[in-house]
Amino acid sequence: MNHEFDWRANLATSLTPLFAVAWRLILALTAARVLLVAWQWDRVVDANMLAPVFVQGLRFDLVLLGLLLIPAVITFPLLASSRVLVPVWRFLLRIYLPIALLAAIFMELSTPSFIEQFDSRPNILFVEYLDHPKEVFSTLWAAYKIPLVLAVLFIALFGAYTFRSFARLTAPIRRTGLVPALVATPLLLIACLGMVRSTLDHRPVNPSTVALSTDPLVNDLALSSTYSLLYAIYETRHEEGGGIRYGEMDDETVISIVRDSMDVDSWEFTLPELPTLHLQYPVNPSGEPKNLVIIIEESLGAEFVGSLGGLDLTPNLDRYAEQGIWLNNLYATGTRSVRGLEAIVSGFTPTSARSVVKLGKSQKNFFTLAEVLGRHGYNTSFIYGGEAQFDNMRRFFVNNGFDRIIDEKDYDNPVFTGSWGVSDEDLFDRAHEEFSRSHSQPFFTLVFTSSNHSPYEYPDNRIEQFDAEKNTVNNAVKYADFALGRFLDRARDSDYWDNTVFLVVADHNSRVYGSEVVPVERFHIPGLILGGAIEPAVIETVASQVDLAPTVLSLIGVTSEHPMIGHDLTQPGDPDNPGRAIMQFNATQAYMSGDRVAILQKDLPPLQFVYRDGRLQDDGRYDQALTETAIAHAAWSSMAYEKSLYRLPDASETLVGWVNHRKFEK
């Protein structure tokens, strides 16, 4: 048989370049990782990450390999099966595969200098600096002449060898025939997609998967620089520069309005370069700082809570509402868990972009309670029943102050495991176990429940069902309340109760919908602050999730410096101040002050309503100051993210701020 029509031989010859680039890519990335680990040996060992760096590194190298092979695999049946088009197939493999391989090697060669500058693998900054080639090249040439020359020589020599090698590999390629190509292609595509996804779990792997230590650089070593760069570009597709700008307002006016709205004395601001950075003093300072536990209840809207006029599904929360500080008019900032986490953990106001938990620029040096409390000697942790990599939580948390992450894989013999992880009972049992241990330092722990999440799975024989059908939202809420009440009862009888402040709050409502431009009623959520030293009270003023972090900092007795613009709800404040809440609903933002609501929409004039009887009503009034305040707060969030203004100062900035502060006091 003529070799041109020997489909077996022709098929093997057509696919040989794909396997050739595969082993070369894996070998090159592994060699680069070995050298980087040797360079950063002390940090890798201190983080106990030697094995994970290489095991997860191979996993993510296969992810990159799958991504790089997909274009060739998709075009294979069209180009390789036809006598007319097979020269195009040869050309594609001879050009595309060497370029992909050389690009990956180039990124690895670029990595050491990037690490020296930014202490991470190449990220979105790498792309941004390409907009300034003259400045970048001048900097590189001044600092890295010899490495730059060696890298260029290596790429040139290795490139020449690689192109010649693939020219030899592709020369024998002949057409495979249509049927063999159509049979082979699905198998190849499944293999590529399997490598890219790299898991059978709900979500594919992402950089959060390797956020296994508190050292961001060491975690990054498990990636490749090409992957980290591609993922950074993917992350920024819809960022829109930190969110939509809803109106024209200069930065100075934005900062002035936001600072005036913070209820902070001018002398308490500490550093002009970070406009909202200020000192906060606790309302009742005590000797030893208290522990802090924040319990985030998944999807618990006001309509489920008896104390807020909803269904009688939360008897335990309602019972404890009488024993702590109950927030009667608390509003979520958004409709997703990461939006709630952003507000509760960071005190960050919402934008039309994705939550900062997922955005690229906030994956390091972004303010969180864990960061500030860590500087005050607290042990910090996150306890979750599902996969901590979901919504990039693990990566964001470990890179911004959390020392320890406990998630689904860390539970032995759980009572119940559903689609979203172990049950709330298992979650709270683990939390109680952690809190009951002897602690030489105060601790801050974030506990995030998941049982009240579709498909609403929970253990049998725990509750008297509200609905006849088991797996409904009403029954899941009732079970979540059962698990919460069980935990709080145990905590109240524990040794840690008297020295701990507990915040119980929802991340968002279960479902935000309605015919109004912003369904404000669906942002109403419960909030409760408990603990041995907490006196019962009810706060009636409008409050936002962004107010919670400053409030609990005050209650645990910590004097702190931070950039949060939320209000300390324990302070007496202005009796005429009705409070305010900021709500993001898709690309629309609502700013509510008391019962007045300003609505901001992209490319549309602002609207104003009065919020009454659970509805937005047009009463014919318009307050220009309210609109300006709303625009300023929306602009501030985008500005703070874009310009990295929402962080704690480094050591040098702290010293400058302290000196300036002392001068002001004198």
Write the pLDDT tens digit of every residue in 628-645: 999 999 999 999 999 999
Q: What is the DSSP string of 361-386?
A: GGSSS---HHHHHHHTT-EEEEEESS
CA atoms lying within 13 Å on the CB side of residue 16 = 20
Q: Which residues pair with 562 in a beta bridge?
A: 278
Strands 325-327 and 527-531, bridge-based pairing:
antiparallel
Neighbours of 153 (CB within 10 A): 10
DSSP for 154-191 reads HHHHHHHHHHHHHHHHHTT-----HHHHHHHHHHHHHH
Collect all residues with Cβ–Cβ distance below 8 Å to 537 and sequence separation of at least 6.
325, 326
To the nearest whole percent, how much of the chain has pLDDT over 90?
66
Q: Is 34 left (phi over 0), alpha (psi -120 to 50) or beta?
A: alpha
Q: Which domains does the chain have, with CATH numbers?
A: 3-235 (no CATH), 240-662 (3.40.720.10)
Residue in this structure with the two tokens 């969180």, named with its chain if needed: 368
Residue 666 pLDDT exceeds 60: no
Helices and strands in the chain, H and E counts: 20, 20
Q: pLDDT value at position 462?
A: 95
pLDDT higher than threshold 90 for residue 659? no
- Find the helix packing angle between 50-79 and 178-197, rounded to 10°: 160
Token reading at 581: 């809440």
Q: What's residue 662's pLDDT?
A: 46
With cut-offs at 50, 70 and 90, classify the pLDDT of residue 128: low
Task: Compute the mean pLDDT over every residue in the chain, rounded to the nearest whole number.
Answer: 90
What tens digit of pLDDT does each residue of 271-302 get?
Answer: 999 999 999 999 877 678 999 999 999 999 99
Residue 53 has pLDDT above 70, yes or no: yes
Going from the C-alpha of 198 to that of each of 18, 26, 77, the distances in angstroms are 19, 16, 25
Return the higher-pLDDT residue of 484 and 124. 484
For residue 533, the number of C-alpha atoms closer than 13 Å in the C-beta half-sphere is 19
Distances (CA, A) of 285 to 16, 36, 617: 71, 47, 43
Q: What per-residue confidence (pLDDT) applies to 512?
A: 76
Range in 208-212, 463-467, 503-507 the model is least confident about: 208-212
Mean pLDDT calculated for residue range 510-516 = 75
Return d(Cα 48, Cα 477) in angstroms, integer.
Answer: 40
pLDDT of res. 3: 45
pLDDT > 70? residue 588: yes
Read off the pLDDT of residues 24-49 as tens digits, 9 standing for 90 and up: 999 999 999 999 999 999 999 998 99
Is the Cβ–Cβ distance between 275 and 251 less than 8 Å? no
Alpha helices, H only, 49-177: 50-79, 86-118, 124-128, 133-143, 145-170
pTM over 0.85: no
Q: What are 592's strand-pairing partners?
A: 581, 597
Specify the pLDDT at position 663: 46
Distance CA 541, CA 545 (A): 13
Q: What percent of the chain has pLDDT over 70?
A: 93
**In the beta sheet, which residues pair with residue 530?**
502
For helices 50-79 and 225-235, the axis angle rounded to 10 degrees is 70
- Find the angle CA(278)-CA(568)-CA(398) to the nearest 5 degrees: 70
The pLDDT of residue 665 is above 50: no
Give the model confidence (pLDDT) of 445-475 as tens digits.
999 999 998 889 999 999 999 999 999 999 9
CA end-to-end distance (rounded Å), the chain: 97
Cis preceding-peptide flag for 455 (omega within 30 of 0): yes
3-class secondary-structure state, position 530: strand
Asked if residues 451 and 495 have their Cβ atoms less than 8 Å apart, the reply is no
**Residue 650: what residue type?**
D
- CB contact at 8 A, 93 and 17: yes
